[in-house]
Every structure is written in C-alpha cells, then in structure tokens.
Amino acid sequence: MSKKSTMAFLLAAAMFSQAEVQAQKKAAPTKKTATATKAQANKTQLVEKVTRKNGELVIPYEKYVLPNGLTVVVHEDHSDPIVHVDVTYHVGSAREEVGKSGFAHFFEHMMFQGSDNVADEEHFKIVSESGGTLNGTTNRDRTNYFETVPSNQLETALWLEADRMGFLLDAVTQQKFEVQRETVKNERGQRYDNAPYGLVYEKVSAALYPYGHPYSWTTIGYIEDLNRVDVNDLKNFFLRWYGPNNATLTVGGDVTPEQVVKLAEKYFGSIPRGPEVKDMKLPAPVLTQDRYISYEDNIRFPMVQMTLPTVPAYHPDEAALDVLSRIIGGGRTSIIYQNLVKTQKANQAGSYHSTSELAGEFTLMARTFPNQTLAEMEKELRNALAEFEKKGVTDEDLERFKASAEASFINRMSSVSGKTSTLAAYQTFTGNPNYLSKELKAIQAVTKDDVKRVYNQYIKGKKAVVLSVVPKGKPEMVAAKDNYTVDKSGYKAPTDQYAGLKYVKAQDNFDRSKKPAAGPNPTITVPPFWKQNLANGIKVIGTKNDEVPTVTMLFTLQGGHKLEAHDPSKAGLASLTAAMLNEDSEKYTSEEISAQLEKLGASVSFGSGSESMTVSVQSPVKNLDATLALLEERMFKPKFSQDDFDRLKKQRIEAIANQSTQPTVVANNVYSKMLYGEGHIQAIPDIGTVKTVENISLDDVKKFYQNYFSPSVTNLVIVGDVEQQQIMPKLAFLNKWAPKPVNMPAVAKIKGIDKTKIFIVDKEKAAQSEIRIGYMALPYDATGEYYKASLMNYVLGGAFNSRINLNLREDKGYTYGARSGFSGTEEVGPFTASAGVRSDASDLSVIEFMKEIKRFREDGITDEELAFMKSAIGQSDARRYETSFQKASFLNNMLRYNLEPDYVAKQNEILQNITKEEINALAKKYLPVDNMSIMLVGDKASIKPKLEKLGYEVVELDPDGAPIVAKVETPAAPVEADSKTKSKNNRKAKKVNGRVFN
C-alpha cells in the first residue's frame, strides 16, 4: 500500500508551465460546475488546457467536466501506439467505519468480477486479448483502476470502465462475494500475517491515531471485519462512493482530446451522479507521552521504530520535512547510516517521511543484529536527532535533494502510464492536474532555515509511537515495557452515511451490451539500433530515445554466480564482489561518490546474478560527462578496503541466516536445490550459504575481480537522448580496459526426476504454504522449442486468465495468485507452477495444480484458447518498446543470445502459424506430470497427514533441502478432484493471475 499520495519527494525541476487557462485551485470541479448556468450544466465543459512551451517540464493536457460531474483529463502523446486509461475514485480505507475495515480494498476486488454487459471474469480476458495489461490498487485515500492497451483498443477500455461504474451491482452475487472474501484473506495472510514485520504498519497506525480515526487501521482490514460483513454492506459502499462525481477519468497516449471526450460522453455520460462527497479534514494526532508498544514475530533481526505525526500531503512544510528525513536517515551520507550501519551497530537503519491526504508520519527505524536489545538502539536513533541539531543543514544537502528529486520526476515521465497516473493523482487530491508547478516551486524554494524550523516544530522534543518487534519467545528484548493500549472510551460513531441509497441505472440511446469493435491495428516497429564492437572485445548496441533527456547504460559481464563452479566452497563470491564495487574507490569514499551522484541526479550501481554481473548507469544528458567520470572511477579503481569487506561480509551472513524466516525464499532455495541437484552451482543460492560466505576472504574478492572482470565477456547497451557519434567518444576510457580470457566452467549434468514425489519443509504454524511444482525443462531459444513451449503454457498458467489461476484463486479461493511458466537460460531452466496457498487447502491445491496440468497435457488447448493466445501475445508488441528500460532489455537480449535483427518478426510468424496440434504435442512433451517434484513449505503438523493421502511418496526436507525422513504410501493413483469440482473446472478458462492489489 502506498502511503504517500503526494509526489513531493519525487518532483523537482527548474522550470514549470504557464497554463493557457489558469489552473483551478483547491476547489473541486464539481463545485465550479454547480455555479454554472442551467444550459452550461447540460453540456460538457472544457475547464482548462495546458501546453508545453520552450522546453518546460510539464505534462500537457486538456481537462473537461461532464454534466454528471465526471472529470476527464486527456494527455496527448503519439510517441508510441499505446493508450493508458486510469479511473480514480476518491475513496480509500479512510472512508470506512469501525467494524467495517477493508471495504475499499475488498470492493476493488469485486470490480473485476463482471458487470451487466461484461460476463463474469471477462474484464481481464478482454484486456489481455487486446494485448493490454491492467490492474487496480487501493490506499488510504483513493482507489484506481487502469489499463494500458494498444491505441486501437481505446473504446473497448472506456466501455469496460464505464460498465463497472454504472452497471455493476446486479452482477454481484453471494458466491462471488464469498470467493473474493477468501482471496482478500489470502492476500492478508501472504502480505501481512505470514510476512516478517508484516504487522508493523498495522500496530503503529492503531497506536498513533485515536480510536475510530480512519488511519487507525490499514487498507487490508481486519480478518474479523472481513468475516462480519455481507454482500449488502459491500453494495452500499459502492452506491455511496462510486458515483461519477467522485471519480476522475484520465486518458494518456496515442489519442486526441476530441476522441476521448466523445467516447467519455457516450459511455459515462448517462451514469447518474452519486451522493455528494465532501473533503475530510482531521486534526493531527497529539501524543502526550511516548507510546511504547511491541509484538513478537518470526524474525531474526529485532527492530525498533519511532513514528511522529507531521503534516498531510500538499502542506507547505512537506518538502522541508522530506529534506530533513533525507539528511537524518535517507542514504549513505545520512547521520543514521554513518552512525549505525557503517559502524555495524545495526543491520539496517534509516528514516523517511510519508504523507497521505489527512496526515503525515516521520519515521526512524533500525533493525539490530541478533541478541541485541532495542533500548540502546532507540537511544542511538534519538542521538541521531541530537546530532542533526548540532550539524544543521548544508547547501550541499539541499543541492543533493533537489537534483535527485528532479531526476526521479524525469524518469517518471518516461512512460505514458507514469504521466497519466501523475495527472490523475493531482486532480484527485488538489482539483488541479497541473499542480506540478506548485510542487516544483515548493521543492526549489526549500531553505536551510525551513528544514531547521520544521525540525523544531514537528520533531524536537515531540513524543512518538515506539514499536519494538522482537523474535518469538524473547519479550525481554523490547526497547521499553509497553505502556499504551488503545483507548475506545472517547469514540463516537459517525452519522450513518448509507441510509436510503438507491441503485439507479443509466438510460442509454445505444446498445451497451455490444462490445465496441477495435480500430485498425497500430503499426508496430522494432526500435532502430546501431552496433559497434570495441577492440578489447566489448560488444556495444544502442538506440536513440529522445522522449526524456536521460541516458541509460547497462553493462553485462557473462559469468556471475556461474563462475563460482570453479570453487563452490566460496559460493556468493560474485555477489560479494559486486557489493564491494559499490563501496570506496581509490580516490573517493562511497559516501563521496553517492553525494556526487545525487547532485548529478545520476546513479551507478553494480550487481550480480546467476548468469552475469551487471553495471547499471543512469544520468541526465546534461550531466553525462561527470557521471561517466564516476563510472570510470568505480569500475577500474576500486579500493577493496578491509573495513568495507568485513562489514559487507557480516551483513551477508546475517541476511542468509535471516532467510529461514521467509517462507518464499526458503521455498525458492530448496526448490532450486531439488532441481539442479548436489554438485551444481545453481543448486546454491546466488548470495551463497553461511558456510560458503564464511570461507571468502578479501583476497578472494580481489582475485575474482582480476580474473573475471573483463571486457572480453562484456556487452554494453545504451539507450537515451544521444546519437552514436555523441556517446562513443565519451566512452573512450573503456578502450584502456585490458582484455583477459575468462574460462567458463563446465556445466554439471542435471539428473532427471524418476517419479513425482511430494517434498515438505516444515514452517511451524505457518498460515500459508508455499508450493513449487516442476522439473528441469529447456534452455532459452528465441524461435525454437522454448519459445513455442512458452506459447503452449500461456493459457495453462502464463496469462491473466490462466486455467491454473482461475481454478485455485477464482473458483476455490485457495490463493492470492497461482501461475506456471518456463524460465530458461543459455543452458537450461525449469518449468515451474507456484502459489502461496491457505494452509488448510495445501493438499487440495496440490490436487488442483496436478489436475490442471494433467488435463491440459491429455486434452490440449481449445480453439477459443488458441485464438485468445494468438491475439493477446500478438497485440502486446505495442507495449514492448515504450520505455528506456524496455528498449534496453530488448537490445540486451539480442546481444546475450546473439539474435538476428529479424527475430521478432520470426516470433510473430511462429505465433500466427502455430496450430492446435503443435500446441497439444508440446503439452505432451513438456508437461511430464509423472516426473515432477512437488514441494511445499508449510506447517508440517497440519499439512503432512493430508498430503500423505494423495498417493505420492512424501519426503521431509530440512530448510537447506537435505532429506530428514522418507515415507512411501501405497494408494494406486493420485487422488482426483471430486465430480463437483471437475464439472466446475471444465468450464471455459477465463481469468487472471498476476493482478496485484496494493
């Protein structure tokens, strides 16, 4: 859940736009139209038009208001043949009541369950089939729904959004309600109850805000409230808050304002206004003493967090508080990092300032190493505040903040979805889509005195909520004894807002049940690119992208974790070497480099993965020379100091040990070990094990860098607002990089799976089980069997409306999301089906997973599914090359796999010509249901007895993947789903995995 509705931390620039018509101030558009004449009230009103002049940093748009109060904002951008549609309702969890928490988020789920003219679960299918993607999110203050589709699908997207705004409730059934209730409970289990530190925000919110305050609970809600509500409560929530007068429709991309307004009038214009929605204003919480609270969790690192109340979003003091949080704990140069992390007193520490519509929170946090009490850590956080008082604010502090904020905003402008969502947020919370000008002024105007003033006003000597999170069974580690419990005595229930609500449907002069026809398919072209090889072996590929004034560079050095096969006893060496390259150089400390990069609005970072090491660079074009100078320093003059190594090694060992508290990580690690087998380097996590990292010395890091950091295995991708002839001379320093041969280790043979078995890793009392099912399948091939197998899997578990997700999530409510897919590399990669499921449905989930895989293998794909797959994947090309990151990924793939320039055309040809018979043959070949491993990480005591009845051999593993005990059961065949389940799941496949509700 995003707590920061404002973008003050992100937004900054030197210039801002002058609107052709002065932007509305705080007043909402509905108030303006209320004063219009009767004739005006019956027409769509153009409120303002904002254009870009003289290179200003502004998002051009036109804003309209329909007679029913719907605000329409249109941003025209023809750079890519795509369109982003966003409908934001000004309602979040802050509009809920005590005892009915979670409604806003619950209703977000229900909005994807069909409406009068869109069949059950068809919303996802229609968008996916059009080559689009979609989602919905909820936070404290708003709920938004959005699609990115090829531009010829604009009318379809608007038809879909209008249908659920005006024609939803008759399609809401008790059965859908019950299934989505289980899905939301699964989401809570996965993201809150079953996640380390998952309840921090819930605990702090309840202690910081008075009982009954709409921020005193979280957006996900409480389980007891979810269990208590019924479908009529949910319908009333829709009637109260989902009227067009409480919504903003924002459309950006390859459109014209006239086109969008005409369609908005057609599909949204007849929807009746809803009840009036007034802005809320509540006083900031007042704490008369420090409120100490605590809870025990399944964690390794004890944590203390201090939270103080500040100001709501768009408050004049917000920007200065953002700067303050950055100075105290926002990066390597911050006080908290230097005093706690650099000195190894804390494993992780920092501070941040978050704001929402009604309130803001200033937070300081530290996670200690094991067996440390939190009282001393709280003292250290308070000492950091005292140190700020002494040191104050420097000109450089302000310069760094403003430059990095400007760069963050520019990066956000790189996609049509980023620009559209920015306009939508400003309109929703200020009534002015062009509020950017005020944000920019506020950030650029912050002074040293402002930062000192807000510290004195909101932080110095103020009381805080102090939360301790300690490992289970260690209550003595808390910072201080709990002294606060929620006081309900002063609570007074609000006036009933739901009495007398009626559902009034729109009256149309057209047949809304007919899905709009798509316009002509947009022309899709692969970005033009250039290539150049350097004498030392570096392969360079690049393309010009002038939509934003930035340059993105990605170096990829073949090897990474794979090279550790030369000495597996030191696995994790590549990752640790990359971490060391992010530290001091011969000339600068890491803090000095970070400070310089922040002032440039740039970044240079090193990383390592299973197949390669990477160097990522991003810079504004105007600061590219200075950024490249820092890149050269970091790449070729690392200091490799003993102090940095000791600190990073300690942090790495602790991080590895901490993985035992994270079921998802345990599942992934054990699953990899099962698939690759003993002796294969990929059976060991990229970051190593405690034992292997303990074996690594600083000399090992130096030797790894000397032996394997070579241009002979390096690819470089460049995407940005520069031409080849401009950028290559600036990279002349790379020619001095001396090549050396890199000996890639022989690939260890992977043993096949003789028969399907179930493996269990115990996670005592876990509310959910993590499931992984699969086998080692195929190496990557852009136009061969791998690509074709991926097409085959699309409707099984790779699409929004996959069979697997339809079954486990939408039909059964066992999970928040389930999926399957192939993930090959140059050598080989697995087929994996996975989900986090309710613990009590672990055995049933295994049954349904295997049933769907087996049914697809035996019966194959339907004609309808084949047509859907071809349409969805074929039209998605419109979204493939929009951003610099997307272009860089595409070009990097070409170099990595030595692909021909026409490989995309060949893929499209394969896609369009592949037959039902080919798909079915691929399913039989690459879905070996009798030769897969089924692994679960969950509460053994509750799940094992049921799993033993499924007819598979059951083997217990420890968290490192080593067998504990093996037991063979004798049933003749795996249990099949009952007849009722079978008939239910033989319906057409319709819906989605991958919807992430925040």
Q: Note the pLDDT tens digit of each residue in 779-797.
A: 999 999 999 999 999 999 9
Three-state SS annotation for 574-639? HHHHHHHHCCCECCCCHHHHHHHHHHHCCEEEEEECCCEEEEEEEEEHHHHHHHHHHHHHHHHCEC
265 vs 911: CA distance, rounded Å: 38
Task: Judge if 698 and 765 occupy the same domain.
Answer: no
318 vs 555: CA distance, rounded Å: 38
860 with 916: CB under 8 angstroms?
A: yes
- pLDDT exceeds 90 at position 41: no
Three-state DSSP class for 657? helix
Residues 105-127 have a mean pLDDT of 92
Other Cβ atoms less than 10 A from the Cβ of 961: the count is: 18
Task: Judge if 766 and 683 occupy the same domain.
Answer: no
- The token duo for 612 is 């390669």
pLDDT of residue 296: 96
The pair phi, psi for residue 665, each rounded to 5°, is: -70, -40
Cα angle, residue 606 at apex, residues 604 and 608 outer, rounded to 5°: 155
Percent of residues in the chain assigned helix, strand, coil, to nearest 5: 45, 20, 40
For residues 989 and 868, the model is more confident at 868
For residues 87 and 176, the model is more confident at 87
In this structure, of 12-26, 557-571, 704-718, 896-910, the range with the lowest mean pLDDT score is 12-26
Domain boundary among 707, 736, 765: 736
Across the chain, what does the average pLDDT equal?
A: 90
**Per-residue model confidence as pLDDT tens digits over 831-884:** 999 999 999 999 999 999 999 999 999 999 999 999 999 999 988 887 888 888
Q: How many structural domains is the chain composed of?
A: 2
Other Cβ atoms less than 10 A from the Cβ of 220: the count is: 26
Residue 938 falls inside a structural domain: yes
pLDDT of residue 965: 57
Length of the chain: 998
% of residues, the chain, pLDDT over 90: 76
Three-state DSSP class for 466? strand
Using 50, 70 and 90 to split pLDDT, how confident is the model at 680? very high
Residues 388-402 have a mean pLDDT of 94
Residue 682 falls inside a structural domain: yes
Cα angle, residue 258 at apex, residues 256 and 260 outer, rounded to 5°: 70
Task: Judge if 555 and 675 occupy the same domain.
Answer: yes
Using 50, 70 and 90 to split pLDDT, how confident is the model at 14? very low
- The token duo for 496 is 């009933």
- The token duo for 842 is 């672990």
For residues 921 and 187, the model is more confident at 921
- pLDDT exceeds 70 at position 359: yes
- The token duo for 823 is 């993930």
What type of residue sits at position 185? Answer: K
pLDDT of residue 976: 53
Domain boundary among 736, 771, 800: 736
Handedness of CA 906, 912, 918, 919 (dihedral sign): positive
For residues 527 and 951, the model is more confident at 951
Helix H or strand E segment including 367: strand 360-368
- The token duo for 9 is 């931390």
- pLDDT exceeds 80 at position 31: no
Query: Got the DSSP string for 93-161?
Result: GGG--TT-TTHHHHHHHHTTS-BTTB-TTHHHHHHHHTT-EEEEEE-SS-EEEEEEEEGGGHHHHHHHH
Residue 597 falls inside a structural domain: yes
Nearest to 719 by CA among 882, 578, 902: 882
945 vs 324: CA distance, rounded Å: 55
Residue 804 falls inside a structural domain: yes
Nearest to 464 by CA among 372, 365, 376, 387: 365
Task: Judge if 723 and 774 occupy the same domain.
Answer: no
What type of residue sits at position 243? Answer: G
Using 50, 70 and 90 to split pLDDT, how confident is the model at 229? confident
Task: Judge if 827 and 724 occupy the same domain.
Answer: no
In this structure, of 407-416, 693-702, 742-751, the range with the lowest mean pLDDT score is 407-416
- pLDDT exceeds 70 at position 994: no
Q: Tokens 């292997």 correspond to what residue?
A: 692
- pLDDT exceeds 90 at position 388: yes
349 vs 367: CA distance, rounded Å: 6
- pLDDT exceeds 80 at position 449: yes
**Per-residue model confidence as pLDDT tens digits over 754-771:** 999 999 999 998 889 999
741 vs 710: CA distance, rounded Å: 8
What type of residue sits at position 825? Answer: T
Residues 33-55 have a mean pLDDT of 72
Task: Judge if 651 and 791 occupy the same domain.
Answer: no
Q: The CATH number of the domain where 563 resides is what? A: 3.30.830.10
Task: Judge if 717 and 808 occupy the same domain.
Answer: no
Domain boundary among 702, 736, 770: 736
Sheet holding 82-89, edge to edge: 45-50, 61-65, 71-76, 247-253, 82-89, 143-150, 133-138
- pLDDT exceeds 90 at position 384: yes
- pLDDT exceeds 80 at position 457: yes
Task: Judge if 785 and 872 occupy the same domain.
Answer: yes
Nearest to 262 by CA among 274, 251, 272, 248: 251
- pLDDT exceeds 80 at position 13: no
**Per-residue model confidence as pLDDT tens digits over 646-667:** 999 999 999 999 988 889 999 9
- pLDDT exceeds 50 at position 37: no
Q: State how far the alpha carbon of 391 is from the alpha carbons of 362, 414, 445, 678, in Å.
A: 20, 38, 21, 54
- The token duo for 26 is 């705080």
Task: Judge if 685 and 832 occupy the same domain.
Answer: no
Task: Please count the CA atoms within 13 angstroms of the CA of 947 that sit on its side-chain side.
Answer: 30
In this structure, of 59-73, 124-138, 416-430, 976-990, the range with the lowest mean pLDDT score is 976-990
- pLDDT exceeds 80 at position 34: no
Q: State how far the alpha carbon of 305 is from the alpha carbons of 191, 308, 913, in Å.
A: 19, 10, 58
Residue 992 falls inside a structural domain: no
pLDDT of residue 408: 81
Cα angle, residue 351 at apex, residues 206 and 8 outer, rounded to 5°: 90
114 vs 176: CA distance, rounded Å: 10
Q: Is 109 left (phi over 0), alpha (psi -120 to 50) or beta?
A: alpha
pLDDT of residue 27: 35
Three-state DSSP class for 415? coil
Provide the terminal-to-terminal Cα distance of the chain, rounded to the nearest Å.
5
Task: Judge if 773 and 712 occupy the same domain.
Answer: no
pLDDT of residue 836: 95
pLDDT of residue 669: 96
pLDDT of residue 521: 79
Residue 126 falls inside a structural domain: no
**Per-residue model confidence as pLDDT tens digits over 485-510:** 999 988 888 888 898 899 999 999 99
For residues 573 and 79, the model is more confident at 573
- pLDDT exceeds 80 at position 442: yes
| Per-range mean pLDDT, top range of 168-172, 330-334, 919-923 | 919-923
Using 50, 70 and 90 to split pLDDT, how confident is the model at 691? very high
Task: Judge if 693 and 809 occupy the same domain.
Answer: no
- The token duo for 583 is 């530290």
Range of the domain at 932: 757-985
Using 50, 70 and 90 to split pLDDT, how confident is the model at 973? low
Residues 112-138 have a mean pLDDT of 92
888 vs 876: CA distance, rounded Å: 18
Residue 824 falls inside a structural domain: yes
Using 50, 70 and 90 to split pLDDT, how confident is the model at 1? very low
Other Cβ atoms less than 10 A from the Cβ of 825: the count is: 16
- The token duo for 615 is 């160097």
498 with 236: CB under 8 angstroms?
A: yes
Strands 603-608 and 550-558: unpaired
- pLDDT exceeds 60 at position 370: yes
Q: Tokens 């920092």 correspond to what residue?
A: 350
For residues 972 and 693, the model is more confident at 693
Residue 132 falls inside a structural domain: no
Three-state DSSP class for 312? coil
Task: Judge if 770 and 729 occupy the same domain.
Answer: no
